[in-house]
Amino acid sequence: MEVKLYNTLSRSKETFAPLVPNKAGMYVCGPTVYTYAHIGNLRSYIFADLLRRMLEYNGYEVTHVMNITDVGHLVSDADEGEDKLVEGAKREKKTPWEIAEFYTQDFMHSLEELNILPPTIVCKATDHIQEMLDFVKELYSRGFAYRIEGDGIYFDVSKLADYGKLSGQSLDELQAGARIEINEHKRHPADFALWKDAPPEHIMQWPSPWGPGYPGWHIECSTMSMKYLGKKIDIHTGGIDHVPIHHENEIAQSEALTGETWVNYWLHGEFLQVDGGKMSKSLNNFFTVSSLRERHFDPIAFRFMCLNAHYRTPLNFTWEGMSAAHTALQRLRQAYQQLPTSPDQPSPQLAAKFHKAINDDLNVPLALSYAWEAARSDEPGSKALLDQFDQVLGLNLNAAPLQQELPPELKALLEERNQARANKNWAQSDQLRDQLTSKGVTIKDSKDGTHWEYKPQ
C-alpha cells in the first residue's frame, strides 16, 4: 500500500518513493542538551517515532538517525554570544561536557518512558568535528563561504538561487523584513556561521585552518546526515519552528556541496501548546516527563494524548486533557487485556482501514479509532489485530496496570470496610468507602472479592 507524506517543500501530500527500494533513511533533528527536554520537545520525537514505526509496518528497513547537539547553539542573534552549553555549564558550575552528558541521559530516558524506539544511530556533534571542518573547508574553497576576520566563516546565501524554498521566503523578503543589522560584516543578513572563532576562554574549541574555533549550529546536521545516510536522503524531520532558519540553512550548505537535491521529503511537526499558548519557564508551564510522573500519570498516557491529534495540527496540553488521556488509555488497555486470545485471523477489513489511515500522512487519530473498534469487537482475531496495531501506536497495550502499594492506614480502612460488608452493615461500609474515595482509592466490589485502584491526589 502506498505511503503518503506531507512534504513541507511542496506543501502537499506526496506518495513516498524511497531512494533504495524497501529502504528508508530518516534524519531526525535532535535536541540541544543544555536543559531538560519538555513535553513539547517530546511531541516531536513521538511524531518521528510514529513515522518510523509506520514505515516499518509497511515493510521498510528504516535507518533512523538522530543527532545530539552538544555544541554550537548560540544564545543571542546574529551568531554572536555564548554557546548554550557554556551558558548551562556556568549556571550549574560544571563543564559543558558534563552538562551535555547529563541532559543527554535524561533525554534518552524520556524517550524510553514514552516508548519511543531508540534511533538506529544517535550521533553527537562533538564526535564529528573533523567531518564538519572538512565540510566547511570544501564550501570555503569553492566560494560558497567567506571569512570575517576575528569572527568566523560564513555561508553566502546569495550564491544559491533558491535559498528560502522551504519556508517560501525569498531573499528579498528576508532583506526587507530584516531587523536592525547586528553584524555589518555579513554580506547578507541571512548569511549564517559555518564555523566560529573561539576566544581563548571558550571551553569547547577545536583547531582549524582558521585557528581555534567551534562549529556553527546548522553544519552538524548536514554533516552527520551525509555521513550516515549518504549525500541524498529520503526523509528529514523536525519541529515546525525549524523550517525558516535551521532547515533552510541546512539545505543551503548541503545542496551547495553536492549540487543536487539533498532531502526528498521534509516533514515537520506542529507545536504542543500549553493552555493555549507557548510553553516557557517564566509562565511556569514547562513540563517534563518527570512532571507527569509527579502527578501520577503514566508517561504513555501523554503519548496517547499526542496520538489523538494529527502531527500537523497544534495540540493544546491541559491537565484536564492529560487526565482524559490517562483514563482512555487505561480503558483501552483493559479492553485489550480482556479480549480472548484466539488463533483466528484478524479482521482484514479493519486491518486495511488501519493501514490506510496510518499510510495517509500518519492519520493516527483515525487509526486510533479503529483500535477502539477492535477493542470492542466480538471478532475472534481482535486481540491479534490490536497487537499488530500496537506495533505502530506503541501504547504498550499489554502493560500491566500500575499496581501501587496501599499505605497502611488505607489498607486498614479497607479491611474494616470488608468486615462491615460481611456483617451487612451497609451504613458503615459506605461511610468507609467515602473515606477511601476521598483519599484516592476507588473501590470495586465484585463476586470474587473487592478490588481497588489507588491514585494519590
Partner RNA sequence: GGCGGCAUAGCCAAGCGGUAAGGCAGAGGACUGCAAAUCCUUUACCCCCAGUUCAAUUCUGGGUGCCGCCUCCA
- Show contacts with RNA in window 203-232 (CB under 7 A): 217
- Show contacts with RNA in window 372-411 (CB under 7 A): 372-373, 376
Residue 172: CB minimum distance to RNA, A: 9
Among 10, 158, 175, 334, binds RNA (CB under 7 A): 334
Is residue 74 within 8 Å of 83, Cβ to Cβ? yes
User: Which one, 391 or 442, has the nearer CB to RNA?
Assistant: 442
Residue 429: CB minimum distance to RNA, A: 5
Grid cell at residue 65: 538517525
Among 244, 387, 396, 454, binds RNA (CB under 7 A): 244
- Show contacts with RNA in window 22-51 (CB under 7 A): 29, 31-32, 38, 40-41, 43-44
User: Which one, 18 or 417, has the nearer CB to RNA?
Assistant: 417
Among 178, 352, 402, 412, binds RNA (CB under 7 A): 178
Among 84, 128, 159, 303, binds RNA (CB under 7 A): 84
Rounded Cα gap, residues 309 and 362, in angstroms: 10
Q: Is 179 in the site for RNA (CB under 7 A)?
A: yes
Residue 260: CB minimum distance to RNA, A: 25
| Amino acid letter, residue 329 | L
Among 82, 106, 117, 321, binds RNA (CB under 7 A): 321
Contact pattern from residue 95 through residue 134 relative to RNA, giving x for each residue in contact according to CB under 7 A and a dash for the rest: ----------------------------------------
Rounded Cα gap, residues 94 and 106, in angstroms: 16
List the one residue out of 152, 150, 105, 149 whose CA is nearest residue 132.
Answer: 152
- Please spell the DSSP secondary structure of 11-70, one letter per residue: TEEEE---SSTTEEEEEE---BTTSPPPHHHHHHHHHHHHHHHHHHHTT-EEEEEEEEB-
- Please spell the DSSP secondary structure of 194-240, one letter per residue: EEEEPPTT-SS-B--TTSSEEE-TTHHHHHHHHHHH-SSEEEEEEEG
Q: Is 315 in the site for RNA (CB under 7 A)?
A: yes
Grid cell at residue 15: 506518495
Q: Is 177 in the site for RNA (CB under 7 A)?
A: yes
Is residue 355 within 8 Å of 1, Cβ to Cβ? yes
Among 369, 388, 396, 435, binds RNA (CB under 7 A): 369
Q: Is 167 in the site for RNA (CB under 7 A)?
A: yes
- Taking the CB of residue 285, how many other CB atoms lie within 10 A of it? 18
**How many chain residues interact with RNA (CB under 7 A)?**
84
Q: Is 169 in the site for RNA (CB under 7 A)?
A: yes
User: Which one, 78 or 203, has the nearer CB to RNA?
Assistant: 78
Rounded Cα gap, residues 216 and 222, in angstroms: 11
Q: Is 183 in the site for RNA (CB under 7 A)?
A: no
